[in-house]
Amino acid sequence: MLTSPITKIETFPVPPRWLFVRVETEDGRIGWGEASLEGHTEAVEGAFASLRDRFIGSDPERIEDVWQTAYRLGFYRGGPVLMSALSGLDQALWDLKGKALNVPVYQLLGGRVRDFVPVYAWIGGDRPSDVVEAARVRKAQGFTCVKMNGTEDMGWLDSPRSLDATVGRLEAVKAEGMDAGLDFHGRVHKPMAKQLARALEPLRPLFIEEPLLSEHPEAIEQLSKLTTIPIALGERLYSRWDIKPFLQAASVDILQPDLSHAGGISEVRRMAAMAEAYDVAIAPHCPLGPIALAACMQVALSTPNFVIQEMSLGIHYNTGGHDLLSYMSNPEIYDVKDGMVAALNGPGLGVEVNEDKVRRLSRDCPPWRNPVWRGPDGFVREW
């Protein structure tokens, strides 16, 4: 064995809304993962009770055996809570193994197929002037591509005039010389999604994300036949079984599994291989912390059909100063230049976690809850 048995599996909720996982072995080796499931941290922490019962005392090198045991022997499989817990554990085990061998995780996945990872970041704002200002900040940070909300708020059937603001924001960002993806966030229903896709098509966005909720695969298939804009989705899909209907229907162009929700490095690698067989790209979802992003980077560096990586840098959310870089001792690994981040070459996931800060902030971390959105009629709307 490269390492001794697992002796500790710890979880740390930290601001703004992340859940870090720490795995320690008998010989003192440490691996880190991230099991963040925004708004449901307590549920994921509860799922770790059974993972501790099963895997303390186990061989941390047997990553696939741990994954299969955790997934299959729980009987009730899948879903965001169980898969997020498994994701954090899986990432930590890959981190441990890479550190034990003194190689980056991408070497354990077959080696690099690229030297740099194309990246994009989020911008917000309701008006064209707002998104232009945010886009200029991103450009100064080194980004050449951004993503923004398709629409802030829209009814099931709304006035066609409600589409104008989306078109105006995209025009403004494109005028800055940046590519842009638009995230409908599943808040747009089919009558409006069809119109919005048609209105955006002349502006050639990079992609439209979750133009409809993934729980409506038949509607997404219909929409895919009405637009030439690449359709992206997947942050609310948690396994290779969840992506099957979309691949079989040829209704998506870019899959966006989240490595903290979709079974970690092990499962997302399998999802990527499945997608490649259908000529579908992978662009992992990651508005999360430094550990999740490092796991995404390892997959990106070793996956042929990877296209672009989301990263939450600086102005992504109002995080009260808890940016992804603030938990790291080596933030320079995420420097963005010409829209790309260089390969992470440190051992394991490549990120050095500031453990003292994690433990300190975890002690009094308040629970985070999704905000409640309501339309003018008072009915609840998608976040």
pLDDT of residue 317: 42
| Cα separation, 312 vs 18, whole angstroms | 12
pLDDT at 316 over 70: no
Q: How crowded is residue 31: how many other Cβ atoms within 10 Å of its Cβ?
A: 26
Give the pair of three-digit tokens for residue 133.
């200002």
pLDDT of residue 161: 85
* From 167-171, 232-236, 334-338, 369-373, the region with the lowest mean pLDDT: 369-373
Q: End-to-end CA distance of the chain, in Å?
A: 47
Which residues are known catalytic residues?
A: 185, 285
Query: Under CATH, which number does the domain 107-346 receive?
Result: 3.20.20.120
Q: What is the pLDDT of residues 242-261, one digit of tens each?
A: 999 999 999 999 999 999 99
pLDDT of residue 321: 52
pLDDT at 315 over 90: no
Q: What is the pLDDT of residues 162-208, one digit of tens each?
A: 888 899 999 999 999 999 999 988 888 999 999 999 999 999 999 99
Residues 96, 266, 328, CA angle at the centre, nearest 5°?
45
Give the helix/strand (H/E) hosting 355. helix 355-362
Q: What is the pLDDT of residues 119-165, one digit of tens each?
A: 999 998 888 888 999 999 999 999 999 999 888 777 888 888 888 88
Q: What is the pLDDT of residues 22-57, one digit of tens each?
A: 999 999 999 999 999 999 999 999 999 999 999 999
pTM of the predicted structure, to 2 decimals = 0.95
Buried b (16+ CB within 10 A) or exposed e, 272-303: bebbeebebbbbbbbbbbbbbbbbbbbbbbbb
Do 306 and 319 form a contact (C-beta atoms < 8 A)?
no
